[in-house]
Amino acid sequence: MRLTYIYDPLCGWCYGFTPVIQQLQERNNGTMTFDILSGGMIIGDNRHPFSSMAAYIQREHTNVENMTGVKFGTAFLEKLLPSAEMMDSEKPSIALTVFKQYQPENAISFAHDMQVALNYSGLSLNQDSTYCTLIKKFSLPEDEFIDRLHQEHYRYETHQEFQLIQNWGITGFPAAILDTGKQLYLCARGFTPLEQLEQTIENILKEDSTL
């Protein structure tokens, strides 16, 4: 079985849902393969300054906190959010593509580290220096990683990922797809608590076994 987690690095609800996927991965280590794909939520002409979303996020972030348990930091809410920093999903998505070339088994953990860096520590995901800090935990070669981050090959691969998700008809994040080997099932759309997700997967497997 393979579970594919579809997220975007700038998605607040994904910030809350990634820990659920991490727990699911820990509970199913060895029995299920986990992938993570970037959705391309804010790219190209959709890019805009954080400040343009500040009022909305200031109002709504508590809903994410209350439902998921994650916390948004003061550095994000009071410094990055009101700033002219551009919201752009492309670079952190490329960073995940590059990371998966090194340690695909830790890709979900790295994705969450990017989310924490942004939403709690208020760090820019547009800056190389942020990734230099994040990859230390995984003992990756800094110069090589940053070089790959700027290579057209990895940008192309990332945009192919965006296109795949669009072809699947998934326009909202987070989402998760379960591949049983017989067919694909959408097992999460939007934030889903762990117990609910596990029950959905169990129901899918019962249904799938009758096919």
Distance CA 159, CA 122 (A): 26
* Spatial distance between the Cα atoms of 8 and 36, rounded to a whole number of angstroms: 10
pLDDT, tens only, 159-208: 999 999 999 999 899 999 999 999 999 999 999 999 999 999 999 999 98
Residue 30's pLDDT is 82
Residue 69, burial from CB neighbour count under 10 angstroms (0-12, 13-18, 19+): exposed
* pLDDT of residue 210 exceeding 90: no
Provide the whole-model pTM. Answer: 0.95
pLDDT digits 0-9 by tens, 91-141 = 999 999 999 999 999 999 999 999 999 999 999 999 999 999 999 999 999
Q: What is the C-alpha separation between 7 and 119, in angstroms, rounded?
A: 15
Residue of 154, 148, 120 lying closest to 132 (CA atoms) = 148
Instruction: Tell me the pLDDT tens digit for each residue of 14-72.
Output: 999 999 999 999 999 888 999 999 999 999 999 999 999 999 999 999 999 999 999 99
At residue 72, what is the residue type? F
What's the pLDDT score for residue 29? 84
Reported as a pLDDT band with limits 50, 70 and 90, residue 5 is very high
**CATH code of the domain containing 52:** 3.40.30.10
The pLDDT of residue 21 is: 98
Residue 202 structural domain: 2-209
Q: What is the pLDDT of residue 127?
A: 97
Q: Average model confidence (pLDDT) for the chain?
A: 96
Paired sense of beta strands 33-38 and 86-87, if any: unpaired
Could you give the residue ranges of the DSSP H alpha helices within the chain?
Answer: 12-27, 54-68, 74, 90-102, 107-119, 128-134, 142-149, 152-167, 194-209
Domain count, the chain: 1
Q: What is the mean pLDDT of residues 144-158?
A: 98
pLDDT of residue 94: 98
User: Does residue 211 have a pLDDT over 80?
Assistant: no
**What tokens appear for 115 in the block?**
């989310």
